[in-house]
């Protein structure tokens, strides 16, 4: 089985430790490292450009509303050159509630993404070659846009059973020529399967409050679950959300359980057409570093 990629974030106070962890991830043979939007993903990618040598890495994702496209084009071109082409620039629109908290106005996702990528390409003449651009996607319209203007698509918390429909518009010749297909998958390793599932339920609670995710999961076949979630939210009962996540839905969107179960589940993600599964580790026994200790041991 091919090795998965891992998600990494540079948490304040332990950034040097995280960079050292990135070097260890490369040494262990994982296929990539992709950085979440919090914790300065571009800064972490710059460090990896200097301190790793073979592993692919990138942002997954960088919200387009946070940086001027010319400024980002300069930074992305620099990392692309310094890393000898190992860097992937993952872009997304984030979510309206998150943008609102930062005082950022969210426009129309499809047209804003199209315009932003066009401005990046325009800046290329001045700043130098850009890395492959990967768009954060959920539903088909954004996937189609990724096929049209970008070099890949990345999901977060996708439903494995729905990937065939999601990828129907991606021609096989594009895949054969390196079109990036990734998904960030919450992953917990513990022989206590219920304890591991509980951690993933906590992780996904905040996503259930986002209408675009609920609409995606309805499209994926989980209408009953999402309507129950919407009823709980309308009643102001957020605490009820974890209990509304069916086992079928959770197993379709995350990985959890013993090492054997997680590895078997990962194999199914590859078979579903996701060439770069990106494991997002959590743990029943500790924080970020404990979760990575368990992941590294599972794939030793």
Tokens 């325009």 belong to 122
For residue 149, give the nearest of 172, 132, 173, 128 by alpha carbon. 132
For residue 184, give the nearest of 1, 8, 63, 45 by alpha carbon. 8
Which structural domains are found in the chain, ordered by start?
5-190+255-298 (3.20.20.30)
Q: Which residues does 164 contact at the CB level (< 8 Å), separation at least 6?
A: 272, 273
Task: List per-residue pLDDT tens for the chain, 300 residues long.
Answer: 799 999 999 989 999 999 999 999 999 999 999 998 888 999 999 999 999 999 999 999 999 998 999 999 999 999 999 999 999 999 998 766 666 666 777 778 999 999 999 999 999 999 999 999 999 999 999 999 999 999 999 999 999 999 999 999 999 999 999 999 999 999 999 999 999 999 999 999 999 999 999 999 999 999 999 999 999 999 999 999 999 999 999 999 999 999 999 999 999 999 999 999 999 999 999 999 999 999 999 999
Residue 120 and residue 68: Cα distance in Å, rounded? 9
For residue 41, give the nearest of 109, 104, 87, 105 by alpha carbon. 87
């Amino acid at each position: 089985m091919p090795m998965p990629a891992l998600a990494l974030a540079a948490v304040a106070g332990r950034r040097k430790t995280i960079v050292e962890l990135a070097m260890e991830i490369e040494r262990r043979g994982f296929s990539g490292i992709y950085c979440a939007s919090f914790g300065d993903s571009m800064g972490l990618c710059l460090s990896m450009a200097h301190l790793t040598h073979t592993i692919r890495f990138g942002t997954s994702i960088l919200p387009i509303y946070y940086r001027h496209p010319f400024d980002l084009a300069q930074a992305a071109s620099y990392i692309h050159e310094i890393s000898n082409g190992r860097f992937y620039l993952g872009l997304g629109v984030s979510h309206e509630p998150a943008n609102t908290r930062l005082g950022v106005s969210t426009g129309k996702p499809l047209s804003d993404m199209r315009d932003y990528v066009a401005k990046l390409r325009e800046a290329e003449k001045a700043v130098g070659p850009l890395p492959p651009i990967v768009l954060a996607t959920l539903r088909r319209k954004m996937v189609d846009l990724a096929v049209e203007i970008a070099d890949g698509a990345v999901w977060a918390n996708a439903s494995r059973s729905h990937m065939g429909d999601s990828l129907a518009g991606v021609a096989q010749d594009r895949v054969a020529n390196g079109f990036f297909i990734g998904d960030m998958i919450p992953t917990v390793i513990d022989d206590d399967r219920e304890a591991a599932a509980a951690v993933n339920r906590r992780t996904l609670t905040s996503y259930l409050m986002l209408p675009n995710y609920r609409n995606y999961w309805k499209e994926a076949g989980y209408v009953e679950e999402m309507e129950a979630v919407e009823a709980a939210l309308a009643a102001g009962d957020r605490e009820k959300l974890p209990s509304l996540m069916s086992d079928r839905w959770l197993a379709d969107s995350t990985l959890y359980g013993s090492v054997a179960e997680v590895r078997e589940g990962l194999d199914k993600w590859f078979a579903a057409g996701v060439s770069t599964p990106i494991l997002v580790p959590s743990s029943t026994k500790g924080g970020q570093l404990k979760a990575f200790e368990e992941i590294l041991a599972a794939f030793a």
